[in-house]
Chains A and B, each alone.
Chain A
Amino acid sequence: MPKTLHLPPADPILVARALTKRFPGVLALDHVDVEFQEREIHAILGQNGAGKTTLMNILFGLVQPDEGALFLRGQQVEFRSPHDALAHGIGMVHQTRRLVSAHTVLENIVLGHPRVRGFLNLRSVAPEVEGLCNKYGFTVDLAARVWQLPEGERQWVEILKALYRGAQVLILDEPTSALTPPEVKTLLAGLQALVRDQGVTILLVTHKLPIVLAASHRVTVLRSGKVVARVRTGEATEEMLVRHMIGRDIVARTGKRSIEAGPPLLQVDHLSVVNDKGQPALQDVSFSLREGEILGVAGVTGNGQDELAQVLAGLRDAVSGTVRFKDRDVTRLSPLARWRMGMGYVPAERVEVASIAAFSLVENTALNYHFDPAFARRGLLDDAGLEQLTRNIISCYEVKTPTARTRAQHLSGGNLQKLILGRVLSRKPRLLIAHLPTQGLDVEAAAFVRAALLDAKADGAAILLISEDLDEILSLADWVAPIYEGRFGGVLPRAEADIETIGAMMAGLSAKEVRAQ
């Protein structure tokens, strides 16, 4: 926990009063009052869907509030677009990278800057930007193309961009979500230096308690669009914050360590896969999985997890290596054949890939059943049977929906994920590939999904769990495999896997190097 900040009680630099925002069907912010002091790191804590991002978007001018007002240094201000916010010294680094990956770092930093007008004389601007980098202590190659940079460095480019625009208030939306533990440490240290040495005010939006406790001076907790707590971090505890975030206590269920697993179901040998750009995404990956086991692949997105899930599901070709399932070589088998053989796949992108937004829930169920002879009689789809199945899924998985014929686009993220999981699990797959199954879900839905995975495991299914959430992996998995740049650092039994070891391996150290430390 940081030392409490001893500052003379200053006037708040940025204040919001009674901010209210409605979207079709949902009240995102309900008369929110917030206040930020100069030179502090202020955390905005809340779970997914609490309204944090909407609040920040209003502060940055991306969204206009329906009611309420903003005050900067005591003067009322109105931001009609990010242009206004930037002009007033407010910068934002978004959760999803807002950089043009095809352009260079320098081009991204100067993009849209009011002073750089007319002729794009990058050469004259470069020394200025370089000076800025040195001042803040960042080293990054200005001529590199953004797509060549690792995630941590991209984040710094965005921060630099905001600072180059003269941001005095820096909003960071979930900045640690795509970073390895060492990168997180670097980021937090850098932020503290910025506040201390350069007088920047930082608003840190996150749902991760450790970050809040480690880095912030004060915390504002949001729940369901309302402010429910304002505390000094020094006076807060984890339990207190959790209770504010979700309104009650949640007990997480952990997996039973079953050693009596069955015969090997999935055998992967020396698998190498290339990504869409032609670069190696998976390199020489080998592991095996038995019935009733959960293997947790831990890593930050972008290290080959997408390609791993896709190649196992048959949606991507392998360059070399083999995949054996139920003692059959399935390396070249089509996705359809794999479904038929008993593989199940829950993709990370639930709206773009795992479901069809404009189709009804019944029609979405058909996505995994259109080939099933039990549901196709004499060439026609058994619509009644599918509807019945969908209703079962809806009730078993507590999916909140008006009817089974409602379109999938009307479901909230958590309910859609439960539906998808229920649909896949209803096929009773022997092997389940679950890719980021709880991403973006609120605590309740996430707990439900994890419990469902454990039930499947108890039924004897083998599960490959690909996740960024170390806590999730450590609580569910029997084996842990950290992944970094397409390689498994090792496949460790749960007993040997602790956060430091795994964290280090996620950042690229091998098991030996970690042990040597």
Chain B
Amino acid sequence: MWELLARSLEASTIFLFAALGELINQRAGVLNVGLEGLMLFGGTAAFITAQATGSYPLGFLAGLAIGGLLGLAHGFFSITLRGDQVVSGMGLWILSFGLTTYLGNPHTGPLGLARITNFFGLSPFFVLGVVLVGITWFLLFRTTQGLAIRSVGENPAAAEASGISVTAVRYACVLCGGVLAGLSGAAYTLSYNPVWNYNFLMGWGFVSLALVFFSMWNPWILLAGASLFGIMWQLSLSPELVLPGVLSRYVWRMVPFAITIPILSVISTPWFRRRWGLARPEALGRPYEKS
């Protein structure tokens, strides 16, 4: 049972890193629906690099770098060109999906390196995740930079009139989001499940995106949500630990995705929406035009 929990928490960090990054750039008003693409590419780059060099640090570095690069590309399209953020995000996803399938294919199979050891049975990534959540919370709510970020996401015109560069803040946040997404992908391919397969995420990135909405843009709620999801996910992979013999394992694989839908709907009911609506960055998804 402890094994299952540890593994669940490791799974939850994959959601957590990506969702945390997305939370940061959404707080600044930039929506990136192509999160899954950044995770795929980061993970693939990390895997290939680690396998080629035999070094975990280099692998992670590659994943972070690619994630950051793609994040900046999304930023360029959304911030400088003021394009439709959904188009850009979707574009990055399909781009990554296509290219990683091609680039990663020769590397299909196990990583072949020694597994990363656990901290007293807990994945080091989980610890890192909790630390990052704390840092993010502190940054957003206890520093002036955080006030600036939140203001940019609520009313960029107000921030600009206060002497803050909306462009600089948004680029910084989108870079953060990209790097964390890359970290998430790298953690998947190098630690959680070090076997490369095409489309290895199978929709996790979108679940992370949903988690950001669920969390009402609060890092601690996000941590809770990601943990719950990690547990649910791990259960769906090995249901026989809890409910042996009930239903085909394929049906169990459906469960995490199926649960997301009613949660998303509940979140949209008027009661919830009023509380939630107040937390949503008002300028989310809207391009900012200096006037």
Contacts and interface: CB of A to CB of B under 8 A. Distances in A.
Contact between chain A and chain B defined by CB under 8 Å:
yes
B144 A96 contact: no
Contacts, number: 89
Contact of A100 (B146, B158, B270, B278): B158
Contact of A96 (B142, B157, B277): B157
A111 B142 contact: no
A206 interface: no
A120 B161 contact: no
A101 B163 contact: no
Contact of A82 (B151, B163, B270, B282): B163
Contacts of A119: 142-144
A117 B165 contact: no
Nearest to A91: B161
Contacts of A48: none
Interface stretch (A102-110, A485-493, A497-505): A102-110
A-B pairs, top 10 by smallest CB distance, nearest first, are A112-B162, A83-B163, A98-B158, A98-B161, A112-B163, A111-B162, A100-B154, A112-B164, A100-B155, A86-B163
Nearest to B155: A100
A102 B290 contact: no
B265 interface: no
A101 B159 CA distance: 12
Contacts of A112: 148, 151, 159, 162-164
B157 A118 contact: no
B165 A100 contact: no
Given A99-B155, A111-B151, A82 B144 contact: no
A120 B142 contact: yes
A201 to B, nearest CB: 19
Which range holds the interface residue count of chain A? 35 or more
Nearest to A121: B142
Interface of B: 141-144, 146-148, 150-151, 154-155, 157-165, 270, 274, 277-278, 282, 290-291
The dominant DSSP class at the A interface is: loop
A113 B155 CA distance: 17
A316 to B, nearest CB: 14
Nearest to A161: B162
Nearest to A94: B161
7 contacts: A98-B160, A98-B162, A100-B150, A111-B151, A111-B159, A118-B143, A120-B147
Given A110-B147, A120-B144, 12 more contacts: A81-B165, A82-B160, A82-B163, A100-B159, A102-B282, A103-B147, A111-B162, A112-B159, A116-B144, A117-B144, A119-B143, A277-B274
Contacts of B146: 120
B37 to A, nearest CB: 29
Contact of B291 (A57, A81, A278): A57
A277 B162 CA distance: 27
Contact of B165 (A62, A83, A103): A83
Contacts of A116: 144
Interface string A116-145: 111110000000000000000000000000
Nearest to A116: B144
